[in-house]
């Protein structure tokens, strides 16, 4: 069965300014690598739909969705009126331009679309090559380059709309997925397991917000062998006990040793191993069903290679 690859040109138009690490070139680097290594032809490509506002409101407060919509559509209106490159800061690291609203809707829409493709049996698993990323977006706040929490929106869609009883969220970004934890903590239909460098932005995760949160802080300069040992000892027994019917992945590749935004030492082989362990759980308990969404990863070469390995593993090629 195929691996779905979901993206959209709108995700390239969101731009937070010159020199910002979360840049449109991230998606271009991934595409270039997939094409040059012959992987693109093996993927089932889809253009992302725009997410429905009611889907966003399963993870975010309706007030937050309405306020963000008004702010971002205001930038679109300014552009139509001839204001050159209107932008707005939502926090010191998180900027919006006139195309951010459309990109954010496509990013969350891709995650929901991927969920439906997999649950309907039209793909065994899926990867969403989208931006802006999502795992720092809390129920009512944009932060850390994120506007809507793509994985949390998709997980709630699987539970509340598609009727699943148990889903797991696996987050291997170098930064703690504080937004996903904020939204899903205490929901006993969800198990979230994550690794992240500690200390590091957003300086959270040491005190989990719910019994369904399994956070694994990792000291700076830890290398792949030690991370694998932690995953095997801590994540895997919990996932086996939980028996998820679907697995959502916050796939951040900024723990790579070449990424300057953090100080962990993972390499492509580690991402391949992590993907294989996730797939092992999915085969036993979830009919192989995985939806993976791009989060971080800011060294373009390391990002492209790591996503390539992740996708090649998901697709079995």
- What pLDDT is attached to residue 1? 60
Strand locations in 52-132 (E): 87-91, 94-97, 125-128
Task: Look up 136 and say whether it is catalytic.
Answer: yes
Residue range 75-109, pLDDT digits in tens: 999 999 999 999 999 999 999 999 999 999 999 99
| Residue among 201, 90, 210 at smallest CA distance from 135 | 201
How does pLDDT run across 187-217, given as a tens digit for each residue? Answer: 999 999 999 999 999 999 999 999 999 999 9
| Contact between residue 79 and residue 86 where contact means Cβ atoms under 8 Å apart | yes
178 pLDDT more than 70: yes
pLDDT at 290: 98
| DSSP state for residue 41 in the 8-state scheme | G
The 3-state DSSP composition of the chain as helix, strand, coil percent (nearest 5) reads 40, 20, 40
Q: Which of 136, 157, 175, 285 is catalytic?
A: 136
Q: How far is CA 258 from CA 45, 126, 184, in A?
A: 29, 26, 31
Is 214 in a helix, a strand, or coil? Answer: strand
297, 303 in Cβ contact below 8 A?
Answer: yes
> pLDDT for 256-267, tens place per residue?
999 999 999 999
Vertex 58, ends 116 and 169: CA angle to 5°? 60
Return d(Cα 156, Cα 248) in angstroms, integer.
Answer: 11
Residue 38's pLDDT is: 94
CA angle 274, 196, 170 (to 5 degrees): 45
How many structural domains is the chain composed of?
1
Pick from 49, 71, 48, 69: nearest CA to 60: 69
pLDDT of residue 111: 99
Range of the domain at 136: 3-315
CATH of the domain at 25: 3.40.800.20
């Amino acid at each position: 069965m195929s691996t779905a690859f979901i993206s959209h040109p709108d995700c390239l138009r969101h731009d937070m300014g010159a020199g910002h690490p979360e840049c449109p070139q991230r998606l271009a680097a991934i595409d270039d690598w997939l094409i040059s290594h012959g992987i693109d032809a093996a993927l089932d490509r889809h253009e992302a739909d725009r997410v429905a506002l009611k889907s966003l409101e399963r993870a975010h407060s309706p007030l937050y969705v309405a306020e963000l919509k008004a702010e971002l559509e205001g930038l679109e209106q300014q552009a139509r009126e001839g204001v050159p490159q209107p932008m707005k800061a939502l926090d010191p690291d998180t900027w919006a331009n006139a195309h951010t609203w459309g990109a954010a809707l496509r990013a969350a829409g891709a995650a929901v679309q991927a969920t439906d493709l997999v649950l309907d049996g039209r793909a065994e698993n899926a990867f969403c090559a989208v931006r802006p990323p999502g795992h720092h977006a809390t129920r009512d706040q944009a932060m850390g380059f994120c506007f809507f929490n793509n994985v949390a929106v998709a997980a709630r869609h699987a539970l509340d709309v598609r009727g699943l009883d148990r889903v797991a969220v696996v987050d291997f970004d170098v930064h703690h997925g504080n937004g996903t934890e904020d939204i899903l903590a205490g929901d006993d239909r969800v198990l979230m397991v994550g690794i992240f460098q500690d200390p590091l932005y957003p300086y959270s995760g040491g005190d989990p917000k719910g019994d369904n949160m399994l956070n694994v802080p990792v000291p700076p300069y830890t290398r792949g062998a030690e991370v694998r040992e932690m995953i095997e000892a801590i994540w895997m027994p919990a996932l086996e006990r939980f028996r998820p019917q679907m697995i959502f992945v916050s796939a951040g590749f900024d723990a790579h040793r070449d990424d300057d935004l953090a100080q962990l030492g993972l390499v492509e082989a580690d991402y391949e191993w992590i993907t294989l362990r996730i797939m092992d759980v999915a085969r036993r308990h979830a009919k192989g069903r995985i939806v993976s969404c791009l989060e971080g990863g800011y060294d373009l070469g390391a990002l492209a290679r790591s996503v390539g390995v992740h996708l090649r593993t998901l697709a079995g090629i």
